Chains A and B, each alone.
Chain A
Amino acid sequence: MADEPSSFDPKPEKESKKRFQVFISHAREDAELAERLCDALAERNVTCWLDKKKLKPGKWKSQIRDAIDRSQMCLVMLSRASEASKPWISQEWSFIQSSAWKRDDLMLVPLLLDRVDPPTFLSDWQTLRCDKQATDLNQLTTEIITLLWGRTHAEEKPEKKSQAKTVERFRKISRILAKASGSEHIRKEEDADE
């Protein structure tokens, strides 16, 4: 279920001649659900790029970059298994972020499978949720298609959420640099300690 259900009334996909491609990014542990979702979307005329189905032997990095560049949406499945420190996920997320920086028409969609927080680079985007054990993916595919059509018709990027965390981070950096450059603050702290 979407966090903020869109009020957009999606155009029935059968009325459309436009073909969409969705790039699905997932951890190996979530491959089974990714494949079922890919099949469910294919039934509704949406092509998915899924490594298991499309990746050919050879230069995998360029294949993934090309697939992302040709997609209108990157669906990023997030679970306890999808950690940025895993080399494959790390590379894929970097490619997705790079492409999103270059293209205004690329939509990123975090799909939460567990109770995890989306990474910051996805936090501006509307979140979808899905139970890993879900057998009926009809509602989820409808939400994805709604987003695809909504994005196509609405040119605006999602509204930015609060930048409080970012501001706080930079304040910390500035404070530490000010302390390190001069010794005033350190003196005061040492005096207080004594």
Chain B
Amino acid sequence: MSSSGKRYHLGLGPLAFPREASVFINCPFDHDYRPIFDAIIFAALCCGFLPRCAVETGTAAQPRMDRILTAMRSSKYSIHDLSRCRGESDMNLARFNMPLELGMAMFQRFSSKRKADFHDWLVLVPQGHLYKRFISDLAGFDPMEYDGSHNTVVPAVMSWLATRPDAVRTPTPQAVLKTLPEFAKARAELCAVWCDQTPWTDVLTVGIRIGCGAGLIPDGVS
């Protein structure tokens, strides 16, 4: 919050950031998914893209859909992990937040007439996922498969981001994977300090610092 009491959203106002260098991450935020989430965030950062997501404003009194829309609209790219779209727990319920947000990203792409509003996405699914059976409209936009581990999600994310028109030079996935445990450890420490409410920008700042330290991000940046 600024001295005048205004609350600024990452990507807007004084915190504006180029849309073409922002990537919206649409994935589960639960504890079990944390290693994959960390891997995606760190891979995107090392590729020179600012990760955005629904939790970036913490528990701010802004409806979740507003936060998602704001973050997605100010990102040219998005990554959607559909791996949780299957029955879970005793009730055998599937989560539909991810496909819902993918639909919003698709709408952004197909409804935009101006080149400046164009949106591009990557869909991630686990190997052998039956997405074609329940989301057949994706046909032609084949998702990238991974085996549910950070070892395969990092190359999947990086090979996509590195080939976008707005990409900058990237390290190799092997180098990122080698440093990932350091980022995960630092992130876990942050979570402990913040009782799982770590400010999003702190997570990214740690990522940049660790990326610089490991030589994945050019010297003199952080």
In chain B, what residue has the closest Cβ to A183? B2
Q: How far is the CA of A91 from the CA of B1 in the complex (A)?
A: 41
A174 close to B221 (CB less than 8 A): yes
B169 close to A166 (CB less than 8 A): yes
A167: which of B14, B45, B160, B221 is its contact (CB, 8 Å)? Answer: B221
In this complex, the interface size class of chain A, counting residues with CB under 8 Å from chain B, is 35 or more
B202: which of A90, A163, A181 is its contact (CB, 8 Å)? Answer: A181
Residues on the B chain within 8 Å of A121, using CB = 162-163, 167, 170
In chain A, what residue has the closest Cβ to B160? A94
Residues on the B chain within 8 Å of A4, using CB = none
In chain A, what residue has the closest Cβ to B1? A183
Q: Does B33 contact A (CB under 8 A)?
A: no
B165 close to A84 (CB less than 8 A): yes
Q: Does A120 contact B (CB under 8 A)?
A: yes
Residues on the A chain within 8 Å of B17, using CB = 172-173, 176
A177: which of B3, B6, B168, B201 is its contact (CB, 8 Å)? Answer: B201
Q: How far is the CA of A134 from the CA of B2 in the complex (A)?
A: 61
Residues on the B chain within 8 Å of A185, using CB = 14
Residues on the A chain within 8 Å of B155, using CB = 98, 101
Q: Does A19 contact B (CB under 8 A)?
A: no
Residues on the A chain within 8 Å of B59, using CB = none
B218 close to A120 (CB less than 8 A): no
Q: Does B111 contact A (CB under 8 A)?
A: no
Q: Does A180 contact B (CB under 8 A)?
A: yes
Residues on the A chain within 8 Å of B172, using CB = 101
A166-B159 contact, Cβ under 8 Å, with A120-B168, A171-B221: no
Q: How far is the CA of A177 from the CA of B208 in the complex (A)?
A: 10
Q: How far is the CA of A178 from the CA of B169 in the complex (A)?
A: 23
Q: Does B55 contact A (CB under 8 A)?
A: no
Q: Does B40 contact A (CB under 8 A)?
A: no
Q: How far is the CA of A94 from the CA of B143 in the complex (A)?
A: 12
Looking at chain A's contact residues, the main secondary structure is helix
> Least Cβ distance of B171 to chain A in Å?
9
In chain B, what residue has the closest Cβ to A160? B169
In this complex, the interface size class of chain B, counting residues with CB under 8 Å from chain A, is 35 or more
> Least Cβ distance of A158 to chain B in Å?
13
A84 close to B218 (CB less than 8 A): no
B-facing mask of A155-191, CB < 8 A → 1, else 0?
A: 0000010010111011111101111110101110110
A186: which of B8, B21, B156, B199 is its contact (CB, 8 Å)? Answer: B8
Q: Does A57 contact B (CB under 8 A)?
A: no
> Least Cβ distance of B215 to chain A in Å?
12
A87 close to B199 (CB less than 8 A): no
In chain B, positions 66-108 with a C-beta closer than 8 Å to chain A are none
In chain B, positions 1-23 with a C-beta closer than 8 Å to chain A are 1-4, 6, 8, 10, 14-15, 17-18, 21
Q: How far is the CA of A167 from the CA of B169 in the complex (A)?
A: 9
The 10 closest A-B pairs by CB, nearest first: A93-B163, A166-B168, A94-B159, A170-B221, A180-B201, A120-B167, A169-B48, A98-B159, A166-B169, A186-B2
Q: A84-B120, A120-B169 are in contact. List 7 more A-B contacts (CB 8 A).
A: A87-B140, A93-B163, A98-B155, A173-B48, A173-B208, A179-B14, A181-B199
